[in-house]
Amino acid sequence: MTLLATPRLRLRPLTEADREAVVKVFADPEMSRFFAADFSDPAVASAMVDRRLAYRGPAGQGHWVLERDDEVIGVAHLRPSWELPGGVPELGYYVASAHAGQGLATEAARALLDHGLGALGLPAVWALVHERNAASRKVAGRLGFLDVGSGVHYGDLHRVLVALPAVHGRPHHIELWVPDLAEAERSWGWLLGELGWREFQRWAAGVSWRLGGTYLVVEASPALSAADHERTRPGLNHLALHVGTRAKVDDLVGRAADHGWRPLFADRYPHAGGTAHYAAYLENEAGFEVELVAAEGPAGAEPGSPTS
C-alpha cells in the first residue's frame, strides 16, 4: 500500500501498532452515531481493527490511518466493497470528533480518491454514506461524487454515491500517419472493432475510430516526409490496449494474421513483457506495433515491454 500525504495529514497503512490509537479515536460515542455497532465499546472497536488488519485484496487498496502531527486522528479505506456487488472499490473516511469541522475528512478522502482514480486507474470509486450523515454527504459532494440512489447497507439506509475519473489530463485522441490508408483500415479497423471501438469520422485521406472519449486517427497525409514507419526510431514505438480477458487475447492472436498483423516475440508469448504480464505483441504491414494486454492479470501486475 502507498503512503499518502496532504498539506496537513499523513495517510499510512494501518498496522497492529495502531490498535490502541484507533480504539481511542472511536471511544467517543459520537463516532458511532451512524453505525449499527457501538465502537465506543473497546472490544467492539478492537474487533473492527481486526477486520481491517485481516484485509487481503488488490494491490494499492486497503486501510489507512490518518495522522496529524504524529497523532492518529482517524481511519480511512479504499478497498472492494463489502456491501455492493461485483467487488467495486469503496471509499470510507472517519475523523475523530475533536478534529471535525476543519476540512480534514475532505483532505483525506480527496487523497484516496486521487490515488484510486489516478494512480490505480480505477474506473470508478463508490461510497456509502448514511442517509442522516449530512456532514459526510457534504464531503462527498465537494469531491464530485454523484448520488445514484439509496439502499440498506451496513444495517441501515445509506446513500449510494459514485465518483468517476475526470476528463482533465486524459487522452483526447491519437493520430497515426500511415503510408497506405487501405492497409491501415484493414488492420486497425479490424483490431479496434474487436475491442469495441466504432468508426467515428471519415475523409479522403483518413478515418478514425472512437471508444468512450478517446479516438484514434489513421491518415495518409500529403505532408508525409517518409515512405514508411520505423518503430525503433525516436517517436512512437507502440500502442498498448487493454483486452478484457486472457482468452480474448488468445482469440485475437489466433485471427490476427487474416487481418494484416504478424506476431512479435512469438517464442515468448504470452509473457514477453514479464511473467506477471499476459500480453500479445503484433505488427502490421506498415510496421506499427500494438500490445494487447489482458486486463485480468494477477494483482499488482505492472505493464511490461520487450526490448523493442
For residues 39 and 85, membership in a common domain is answered with yes
CA distance 276 to 162: 30
For residues 211 and 239, membership in a common domain is answered with yes
Report the pLDDT value the prediction gives residue 68, as an integer from 0 to 100.
96
Q: For residue range 204-256, list pLDDT tens digits in order.
A: 999 999 998 899 999 999 999 999 999 999 999 999 999 999 999 999 999 99
Any domain includes 11: yes
For residue 284, what are the contacts with CB-CB under 8 A and spacing of at least 6? 183, 184, 187, 188, 260, 261, 262, 290
Report the pLDDT value the prediction gives residue 300, as an integer from 0 to 100.
44
Q: What's at 120, amino acid-wise? A: L
Q: Which CATH number covers residue 175?
A: 3.10.180.10
Report the pLDDT value the prediction gives residue 299, as an integer from 0 to 100.
42
For residues 231 and 112, membership in a common domain is answered with no
For residues 151 and 177, membership in a common domain is answered with no
For residues 157 and 181, membership in a common domain is answered with no
Domain tally, the chain: 2
For residue 260, what are the contacts with CB-CB under 8 A and spacing of at least 6? 183, 186, 187, 190, 284, 285
For residues 157 and 178, membership in a common domain is answered with no
Neighbours of 245 (CB within 10 A): 12
Percent of the chain surpassing pLDDT 90:
88
Instruction: Domain of residue 45: give its range.
Output: 2-161
CA distance 271 to 256: 18
For residues 177 and 105, membership in a common domain is answered with no
Q: Which CATH number covers residue 106?
A: 3.40.630.30
For residues 144 and 201, membership in a common domain is answered with no
Any domain includes 95: yes
Q: What's at 65, amino acid-wise? A: V
pTM: 0.75
Report the pLDDT value the prediction gives residue 304, as an integer from 0 to 100.
60
Q: For residue range 191-201, list pLDDT tens digits in order.
A: 999 999 999 99
For residues 182 and 145, membership in a common domain is answered with no
Burial letters for 177-191: b for 16+ Cβ neighbours within 10 Å, e otherwise? Answer: bbbbbebbbbbbbbb
CA distance 145 to 138: 10
Report the pLDDT value the prediction gives residue 306, as an integer from 0 to 100.
74
For residues 137 and 24, membership in a common domain is answered with yes
For residues 182 and 263, membership in a common domain is answered with yes
Report the pLDDT value the prediction gives residue 81, as an integer from 0 to 100.
95
Asked if residues 63 and 52 have their Cβ atoms less than 8 Å apart, the reply is yes
Any domain includes 236: yes
CA distance 189 to 203: 15
Residues of the chain with pLDDT under 70: 297-305, 307-308
